[in-house]
Amino acid sequence: MVAHGNVEFQWSGNILIYKLQGAFNEQGLMLLVKERQQQLESKNYSQWFRIIYLHDDALMSADLFKKSVALELKSKNEGCLDTIYVVPNESLRRYRQHYETSLGGKSTYCDSIEEAIAVFSTHAQFFTA
């Protein structure tokens, strides 16, 4: 099956920013994980932060969302200190927060990538490139 969903990665210091767009299927999620691993290997940070930006059309099925939560836990084992979600679409944010809470999770949300970077810049482990 063909991978669906798009991700663009960029770094700001030791913050890995994911920009997710489109409808992800399982192959798309696995491709995202592979590309994320390549990003981490290219920088070799022992501790890093993550911002996940969800465009208005970013979505995935409930089953795939559960898998993505498990993959997020894997990131913590790989040195991810914290994650902030940037979800400009209020209904998508509420849906994600509700579903996440039903799985026992609680994430931090900001209104912009710049605001999220400002939050992380206060951490002692943050550094600029």
Q: What is the pLDDT of residue 38?
A: 95
Nearest of 26, 29, 7 to residue 17 by alpha carbon: 7
Nearest of 50, 4, 14 to residue 129 by alpha carbon: 14
Q: Is residue 111, in this structure, part of any structural domain at all?
A: yes
Average the pLDDT over 61-89 and give the result.
84
CA distance 120 to 51: 10
| Span 27-56, pLDDT tens digits | 999 999 999 999 999 998 999 999 999 998
Q: Is residue 128, in this structure, part of any structural domain at all?
A: no
pTM of the model: 0.88
What total number of domains does the chain contain?
Answer: 1
Q: Is residue 25, in this structure, part of any structural domain at all?
A: no
| Span 76-102, pLDDT tens digits | 888 999 999 999 888 888 887 877 776
Find the largest Cα–Cα distance for the chain: 43
CA distance 25 to 84: 23
Taking the CA atoms of 123, 111, 11 and 38 in sequence, report the sign of the dihedral they define.
positive
Give residue 69's domain range.
8-20+48-54+61-120
Q: What is the pLDDT of residue 99?
A: 73
Q: Is residue 76, in this structure, part of any structural domain at all?
A: yes
